[in-house]
Structure 1
Amino acid sequence: MAVVLVTGGTRGVGAGIARVFLREGADVVVCGRHAPERGITDGAREARYEPLDVRDARAGEELCARLAREHGSLDVLVNNAGGTPRRDVAEGEAAQHARVLELNLLAPLFMARAAHRVMRGQPDGGSVLMIGSVSGTRPSPGTAAYGAAKAGLASLAGSLAAEWAPDGVRVNTLVLGMVGTERLREHFGEGKDRHTAPGTDSGTELSALARTIPAGRLAEPEEVGEACLFLASPRARYVTGASLAVHGGGERLALHEATARTPEAP
């Protein structure tokens, strides 16, 4: 039975990832600074919660080592914890931007190192998954530090994959677009219509967001989990250093939208 650690797994995308691994029979541990309001479950199975600030490198090392001792292995690390408030670079204090880089780039580096120390000694090695973002693939005005961190995360994953392949430790990245999390729905003050397809939102603002995605809807957290499950599984045993796009086709280009509405010249 696989042992899986999901950082930031107490809500949103992380909770969806945890539920998918629980469904597959894995022993799942979720960590974060605050305990979830209710347990992360799938049916009768529940993820174990461990308090952790992922920016604390020593605490991350201690947790990974302890989980390996208690469970016999640590097979999968999902570096999901991250996020940012919206803030222009010219606004706020320098330390606020530095904290965004620390959470979204340095913390995954610390956690990956901690997991590698355990995984490199295991017969089957292990799998490290980085949760990236489309913000790291194009300009990210309003969240520049976050976009820079996610771009750096993809580069980091590629380097670690090359360094750690001889140890049997695979490192891959999932590049996410918008996901229909509770937090996103709360932000826009809208719920999901029970008559719509998964990820399709009845509210005006969320519907407008969904229309920017070629697939026409937001991702569901569990869909991210299914992609993680594949990359962590033996079916992807020769896949390392890869970036898997989980974004419904990306983002519609403003140029295409503009030209589609412009009548042809006579």
Structure 2
Amino acid sequence: MASVIDLDGAVAVVTGGTRGVGGGITRALLEAGAEVVTCARRPPDKPVEAAGRTARFRPLDVRDGNAVGTFLQQVRQEYGRLDVLVNNVGGTPYRMLDEGGAERHARVVELNLLAPLTVSLAAYEVMREQPGGGSIVMIGSVSGNRPSPGSAAYGAAKAGLEHLARTMAVEWAPKVRVNTLVLGMVRTELAHLHYGDEDGITAVGRTIPLGHLADPAEVGDACAFLASDRASYITGASLLVHGGGERPAFLDAATANQ
């Protein structure tokens, strides 16, 4: 991707960019030539590296608006600019709606919807003052487009995130582009917690038309494209990165006895 996508000299921030999907995105941006700053509540076990370059890490709780504003102003002061923001932080425990109460579900919405709004607003204050503006990429999920038993608050937040991105794209044009990567299942370091052992992961992969879970590097390549000038006329878009989606259950049911 580095030979096609050129982010040389760009400054990027990736929230939660130290492992899993975020790590794949960070590596792709490094390979494309960007200076990358990652943030999370806890430091990584080892720095994220790619193409002989290393991402910098800063501790941050993205739910803390004051800390977010200070962090992004520090990035601007240190690097002179902020060209790319990837809102990757998110996640949820498995919890049915009638378990845990509304307060726990609200915390999921806070992390997956309100925190990206907070970070985006702070990034916009920097980007809108720059001649070249900037690019914001939201990391969405197919859970926002279909029923999500056990993760309803997460799915609702991701649906809201896509809508938020489309509205930002209109309000903040032409200075700042805002797009969403809508992810399906990704093979991260924690995949075994969701899908079981290697046989389970392989079996789940067979339910996807392309035959396997996404690799974080594949997500990273798509993100680098949206962040770059190659996507200069793309804003308010939702790019599906899901391997073709999920095979409809009725197809398997209809052929089970054949």
Name 2:213's counterpart in structure 1: 218
Name 2:12's counterpart in structure 1: 4
Name 1:134's counterpart in structure 2: 142
Instruction: Please give the alpha-carbon distance, in whole angstroms, between the structure 2 residues aligned to 1:137 and 1:123.
Output: 36
Name 1:194's counterpart in structure 2: none
For the pair 1:178 / 2:173, whether they are aligned, the reply is: no
Name 1:154's counterpart in structure 2: 162
For the pair 1:236 / 2:231, whether they are aligned, the reply is: yes
Instruction: Please give the alpha-carbon distance, in whole angstroms, between the structure 1 residues aligned to 2:25 and 2:190.
Output: 16
Instruction: Please give the alpha-carbon distance, in whole angstroms, between the structure 1 residues aligned to 2:145 and 2:194.
Output: 24
Equivalent residues, number: 250
Counterpart of 2:81, as a letter, is S
Name 2:82's counterpart in structure 1: 74
Shift of 1:188: 4.9
Name 1:40's counterpart in structure 2: 48
Instruction: Please give the alpha-carbon distance, in whole angstroms, between the structure 1 residues aligned to 2:87 and 2:255.
Output: 39
Mean CA deviation greater in 123-132 or 36-45: 36-45
Shift of 1:185: 3.2
Instruction: Please give the alpha-carbon distance, in whole angstroms, between the structure 1 residues aligned to 2:13 and 2:146.
Output: 29
TM-score of the aligned structures, taking structure 2 as reference length:
0.94
Instruction: Please give the alpha-carbon distance, in whole angstroms, between the structure 2 residues aligned to 1:136 and 1:220.
Output: 20
Counterpart of 1:148, as a letter, is A
Match of 1:182, SS state, is coil
For the pair 1:50 / 2:58, whether they are aligned, the reply is: yes
Instruction: Please give the alpha-carbon distance, in whole angstroms, between the structure 2 residues aligned to 1:231 and 1:219.
Output: 18
TM-score of the aligned structures, taking structure 1 as reference length:
0.91
Shift of 1:257: 1.7
Shift of 1:92: 1.0
Off by >6 Å, runs of 4+ in structure 1: none
Report if the CA contact (8 A) 2:140-2:161 is conserved: yes
Instruction: Please give the alpha-carbon distance, in whole angstroms, between the structure 2 residues aligned to 1:27 and 1:13.
Output: 18
Shift of 1:58: 1.5
Instruction: Please give the alpha-carbon distance, in whole angstroms, between the structure 1 residues aligned to 2:100 and 2:128.
Output: 41
Shift of 1:22: 0.8
Match of 1:78, SS state, is strand
Instruction: Please give the alpha-carbon distance, in whole angstroms, between the structure 1 residues aligned to 2:220 and 2:123.
Output: 20
Name 2:204's counterpart in structure 1: 209
Shift of 1:94: 2.1
Counterpart of 1:235, as a letter, is R
Name 1:198's counterpart in structure 2: none
Instruction: Please give the alpha-carbon distance, in whole angstroms, between the structure 2 residues aligned to 1:5 and 1:170.
Output: 15
Name 1:195's counterpart in structure 2: none
Structure 1 segments unaligned to the other structure (5+ residues) = 191-202
Counterpart of 1:176, as a letter, is L
Match of 2:36, SS state, is strand
Instruction: Please give the alpha-carbon distance, in whole angstroms, between the structure 2 residues aligned to 1:238 and 1:173.
Output: 14
Structure 2 segments unaligned to the other structure (5+ residues) = 1-8
**CA RMSD of superposed structures (Å):** 1.2
For the pair 1:246 / 2:241, whether they are aligned, the reply is: yes
Deviation track 1:48-89 (CA, whole Å, cap 9, x = no partner) reads 000000111111111111111110110000000000000001
Match of 2:179, SS state, is strand
